[in-house]
Amino acid sequence: MKKILKCTSAVCAALIAMTSSGGCAKKLPDVKLSVWASREYHDVLENVAQDYAQKYSDKANFIITISEEKEETCKDTVMASPKNAADLFVFADDQLDDLIGCGALRDVSSEAEYIDEYCGGADSGAALSSERGGKYYAYPFVAGNDYFLYYNSNYFSEDDIGDLDTILDICEKNNKLFAMDFGRAGISTRFSRAQVWTSDLTRTE
């Protein structure tokens, strides 16, 4: 099952500009970094950017710009002009192979220990979805899936919601509707996020 590196089962591209510390220069260099992400992630990323800039404030003056780019369109935007892509961007994991193929991602295996620890091990789904050929090419934005299902407990038991066919059968018998989000990259190929639009909804993780 594919996972979206969501920042669910949403991944961050491994294009991070690094700065070196050298000499005893009195004036710190300005380092500009660009970030692309969906609008929903901007608040989180702005906090991360501020923390990063503060942590390395003795190395450079960081100027970090966050712009909107949806993960479902990120691959096409990057591949249209890889050299003009942001330094760091969020994309769906099913775009990883194409982004590696066009040379947009660099090998970040030097950060393998951090990635493995964050994801809960090298064999975790999040870690594996950012790895190809034994090398890491992305940082998972979240450590795993955050998929959920809303359902009406008047019609479904906890056992029922574990099987999509059972859910559909119950919907049909009770003249109820079933819906899932097909509009976002990485979701349309699997049963991941769905909602049964009835009253008294119960949420399950």
Q: CATH 3.40.190.10 spans which residues of the chain?
A: 11-140
pLDDT at 20 over 50: no
Nearest to 151 by CA among 107, 111, 197: 197
Instruction: Please give the pLDDT value at position 13.
Output: 41
- When pLDDT is cut at 50, 70 and 90, the band that residue 144 belongs to is low
pLDDT of 88-137, one tens digit each?
999 988 899 999 999 999 999 999 998 888 888 888 888 888 899 999 99
Three-state secondary structure along the chain? Answer: CCCCCCCCCCEEECCCCCCCCCCCCCCCCEEEEEEEECHHHHHHHHHHHHHHHHHCCCCCEEEEEEEECCHHHHHHHHHHCHHHCCCEEECCHHHHHHHHHCCCCCCCHHHHHHHHHHHCCCCCHHHHCCEECCEECEEECCCCCCCCEEEECCCCCCCHHHCHHHHHHHHHHCCCCCEECCCCCCCCCCCCCEECCCCCEEEEC
pLDDT at 194 over 60: no
Instruction: Please give the pLDDT value at position 137.
Output: 93
Over residues 180-193, the mean pLDDT reads: 50
Instruction: Please give the pLDDT value at position 181.
Output: 64
pLDDT at 76 over 50: yes
- Give the predicted TM-score (pTM) of the model: 0.59
Mean pLDDT of the chain: 77
Instruction: Please give the pLDDT value at position 189.
Output: 42
Instruction: Please give the pLDDT value at position 60.
Output: 94
Instruction: Please give the pLDDT value at position 80.
Output: 93
CATH topology of domain 11-140: D-Maltodextrin-Binding Protein; domain 2 (3.40.190)
Yes or no: say if 66 and 45 are a contact pair by the CB < 8 Å rule. Answer: yes
pLDDT at 158 over 70: yes
In the chain, what is the greatest distance between 2 CA atoms, to the nearest angstrom?
A: 75
